[in-house]
Amino acid sequence: MTGIGCSGNIPVPLKYNIVRALHGRALSVATGIKLVRPDSEVVIFAGDGDLLSIGGNHLIHTIRRNVGIKVILVNNMLYGMTGGQVAPTTPMEAITHTTPYGNPEPPLDACRLAVSLGATYVAGGQCH
């Protein structure tokens, strides 16, 4: 499964069946696939905007339901595909196209959110 965003291109070269859902809805479509095909391995690649902003509601309830899917949240701390707008993960004071004077809002910690909702496995990493 992929969301819509730069990160949605990650699985494209892989030889798997790939479904692209509407921006923010990858979790819901993946839940449907897993329920219909419980023996399938369902993995989502999607961005921080996709999973935490427009799809934030779905993230909460997908974790709560624990249907057995894996989510790779690719956090580049903004909306990359649409040109670099502020996202819920953008650090405070960061300059983006929509925060030219610096982001006034504190960022959301996706790993802590997932742990608080009872996700069975949570890990975070950094690339430089």
- Residues of the shown chain interacting with ligand TPP in the complex, contacts defined by CB under 6 A: 3-7, 22-23, 47-50, 54, 74, 76, 79-82, 87
The DSSP 8-state label assigned to residue 74 in this structure reads E
C-beta of 34 vs 53, nearer to Mg ion: 53
2 binds, among Mg ion, ligand TPP, none (CB under 5 to 8 A by kind): none
**Is 37 or 70 the residue whose CB approaches ligand TPP more closely?**
70
- Judged by CB under 5 A, the chain residues 49 through 68 that form the site for Mg ion are 49
Residue 80 φ then ψ, to 5°: -75, -50
82's contact among ligand TPP, Mg ion, none, with CB below 5 to 8 A by partner kind, is ligand TPP
Q: Are 90 and 98 in contact (CB under 8 A)?
A: no
Nearest partner of 63 among 4, 2, 5, 113, judged by Cα: 113
Number of neighbours of residue 49 by Cβ within 10 angstroms? 30
For residue 99, list its beta bridge partners. Answer: 96
Q: Considering beta carbons, is residue 42 or 88 the nearer one to ligand TPP?
A: 88
